[in-house]
Structure 1
């Protein structure tokens, strides 16, 4: 079984500074995905039969969240950045998606076949599938941060322009998310070192813990954190 994939170090700067924010926010988001893939790798060979279906649902929620992130990057965020950074200036990020997304799509189809009981669950085989693309994916998640480096943003955008892009992006994020999956996932696959991410207002944090978790409550035990954001001891965090 592969060792846990290392989390990304937070870029320097101030999260409240819109120029620094781009790389810091992206690194924090990417760490959620690394937490998600680490959770799958940790649990896959340990799952008892009665918890296979909840674990598969958790895994599919993670992959759905990852797809949502990539889709909004490719269709909204990066095209807006390229208007000032230059056409194709972020194309490497999208090209890297093509290096591992097909394998994620295949993993998703496999999980859905397990969910529908077309195929039998095999935890070792599941880890082998993840191991087939994990290193490439982690490399991409790390390298993408440098393309959003603070000085690069500052050289091309005004503060207002970046704030307007961020506001439009977040509006689309919130309009297209399933709050019953995305919010609990963001908590249980959070990073204890960045408890401020995602920057949810207090009422939404409360609602996540006491309401939004309920629809898929059987899934959230597989994250590294509990719904209060506290690390689960079995992960050694």
Structure 2
């Protein structure tokens, strides 16, 4: 009887995780690796979306304030990721290639769901703990397809950039991405937002565990701090995530 009262295990619905380019092709060139890292990051956004979608109809009054904090962290994480792409990653790819607009298609894809993300954010900020789970899911239904389409299409677009990298004008895609990514991480972002990313990163079973301990590229104390110490600050929020600190799918909070 006791087990039947437990919250359900997280499941990959309504959006399925996307495969990495390395897993699909076996290649390990820099463009394949960066595309794979992007896919893994996108999967954290996907699992975050799924956790909100699954738990919003069930969350009770006592848990709603924490849940709102979790939801706002998720939307901030997604929005910040796309902002850094448009202001740092994409312009520096263009600069390295000596081209313009190589990732314009991704920018247009961002525009297709940006309004939905803002409606999601504004609804939660306006309603707070008084939000309706059914209404929140309805808003998510409005933008889930353009969001998912983008999350699936961007990694292959990174792989395709390899054709612009030549011996005379090489594109250091891994270096460019690393430098751009570091610029988005402020102390405030690390404490209030990043746990929604790390705690939705399932690595133990995904693609046979090939990314476990590999991505995100944190080792030892840094991994412990990011996955266990920092989430203690707003632990009420992060309990709604899909994974444990060691990258295993877990039971949902509600």
TM-score (norm 1): 0.87
Deviations 1:121-144 (CA, angstroms, capped at 9, x unpaired): 210111011011101110111111
Q: Does structure 2 retain, via aligned residues, the 8 Å contact 1:26–1:145?
A: yes
Correspondences of 1:8-47 after superposition (within 5 Å) = 8-12=18-22, 17-47=29-59
User: Do 1:107 and 1:129's aligned partners in 2 also have CA atoms closer than 8 Å?
Assistant: yes
- The one of 114, 123, 132 aligned to 1:110: 123
Return the alpha-carbon distance in structure 1 between the equivalents of residues 251 and 182 of structure 2.
Answer: 36
- Secondary structure class of the residue paired with 1:9: coil
Question: In the alignment, does 2:204 pair up with 1:186?
Answer: no
Deviation string for 1:159-200 (max 9, x for gaps)? 673344134213313347621134422232112324332212
1:86 matched to which residue of 2? 99
Further displaced range: 173-182 or 77-86:
173-182
Q: Which residue of 1 aligns with 2:248?
A: 230
Distance 1:228 1:163, change over 3 A: closer
Alignment-derived partner of residue 141 in structure 1: 151
Q: Which residue is equivalent to 1:54?
A: 66
What secondary structure does 1:230 align onto?
A: coil
Q: Does 26-35 or 15-24 show the bigger shift?
A: 15-24
Structure 1: stretches of 5+ with no match in the other structure: none
2:168 counterpart of 1:156: no
**1:168 partnered with 2:186:** no
User: Which of 134, 149, 154 is 1:124 aligned to?
Assistant: 134
Q: How many residues align?
A: 230
> Does residue 220 of structure 2 align to residue 202 of structure 1?
yes
Of the two structures, which has the highest relative contact order with CA contacts closer than 8 Å and spacing of 6 or more?
2
List per-residue Cα deviations over 1:81-107 (Å, max 9, x = no partner): 122162122101001111111110111
Partner of 1:211: 229
Does the CA contact (< 8 Å) of 1:19 and 1:154 recur in 2?
no
In 2, Cα distance between the equivalents of 1:160 and 1:97? 24
Task: Find the counterpart in structure 1 of residue 14 from structure 2.
Answer: 4
CA RMSD of aligned residues (A): 2.4
Change (3 A) 1:52 1:95: same
Contact 1:19 1:153 in 2 (8 A): yes
**Greater per-residue helix proportion:** 1
